[in-house]
Every structure is written in C-alpha cells, then in structure tokens.
Amino acid sequence: MASSEFIKPRNPLIPGYTKLPPLDQVEGRFIVPPILVFQIDSPDAQDSIVQDLQDGLANTIEEMPFIAADVIPDNKDRGTVQLEIGEDAGVWFHVQEILELDFDDLERRKFAPAAFSVLQLMPEPRQHDWNRSPVLTIQATFITGGLLLVRVNNNDF
C-alpha cells in the first residue's frame, strides 16, 4: 500500500506572496524531522486513520494557509526567499507500509532513533531546493501494530 494525495483546503486559498523576515532566512541544512509514533490495535483502521489525517490536514491548511505555500527565491543576489501561495495550493500527503518494522519491538527498544530508517520514513523533497520547494510534506507509514507520522518542513533552510 503506497499512495500520494495532494490535500487542498475545502475553500480555495487566496493566491499571493509573503515576504519572510531575516530570522526565517537561515543557511541551508538537513534537519531530521520529528517522528510521531502511534500504536494501532486494529490494522482494519488504516483507511479511517488516513481519512481522518487528510481531513485534519485540509482543516489545518484553512487555518494556516502558509503551510500550503511554496518557498521560492525572492532576491537571488542576497539569497533571500519568500512564500508563494498558488491557485491550486495544497500539501502532499504520502502513505506507505513497512511491515518489517514492529511497534512492540520499537517500544522494547524505547523508540531509540537508531531503530528507525529516517530516510525511508521521510517524504520527498527532503531538503530545500532554491528554485521551488513546498513548505510542508507529510508521510504516514503504517508498521506492524502502529503508525509513524513524519512531516518535513522545507522552510527549515
């Protein structure tokens, strides 16, 4: 089971640009995203969990439209960027299964970072591209007995 869906708010966003203050314009770096770990008792709940996450994301976009923007260059000479909300703004939401990972095993290991293959859990793009990058991308990974939820903030550059 692997899928990707572009989640948009129920009401279209107003297209436009947002200048970023200097403190939000830091040199590029690779940041390991937080991994939210949830125990799931029933594998039959996957479809309803995905639907609830997608609905919640659509509602969040309406409340915080900047998460549906793209980071684009502002002034290439100064290396500054800005946010652009386009006509069809939204957030990519990816779903995958990695059944080799087991919630109970991760719990026994106290959810040690070494127990996770972070790159396998991170959605693309994994870091900022100076031409255009989404502000936010989400990936839900179903494992045996659980769910790993990862978000990549591409405004962390």
Q: Counting beta carbons within 10 angstroms of the beta carbon of residue 131, is it exposed (0 to 12), middle (13 to 18) or buried (19 or more)?
A: exposed
Q: Which pLDDT value is given to residue 116? A: 78
Domain membership of residue 26 (yes or no) is: no
CATH number of the domain to which 137 belongs: 3.30.559.10
- Can you give the pLDDT of all 157 residues of the chain as single tens digits? 688 899 998 888 888 888 777 666 655 545 567 889 999 988 789 999 999 999 999 999 999 999 999 888 887 777 788 899 998 899 999 999 999 999 999 999 998 888 878 778 887 765 555 678 888 899 999 999 999 999 877 544 3
Query: Could you list the residue range(s) of the whole structural domain that residue 98 is in?
Result: 3-20+33-153
In-domain check, residue 88: yes
Is 98 inside a domain boundary? Answer: yes
Asked if the structure places residue 27 within a domain, the reply is no
Residues 6+ positions from 55 with CB-CB distance below 8 Å: none
**25 lies in some domain:** no
Task: Say if 49 falls within a structural domain.
Answer: yes
End-to-end, the C-alpha distance of the chain in Å comes to 32
Query: Tens digit of pLDDT for each residue in 15-60?
Result: 888 877 766 665 554 556 788 999 998 878 999 999 999 999 999 9
- pLDDT for residue 130: 63
- Region for 120 from its dihedrals, namely left if φ exceeds 0, alpha if ψ lies in -120 to 50, beta otherwise: alpha
Domain total for the chain?
Answer: 1
Strand extents, DSSP E, 3-43: 3-7, 16-19, 35-39
pLDDT for residue 129: 58
The pLDDT of residue 157: 39
- Residue 23 has what pLDDT? 63
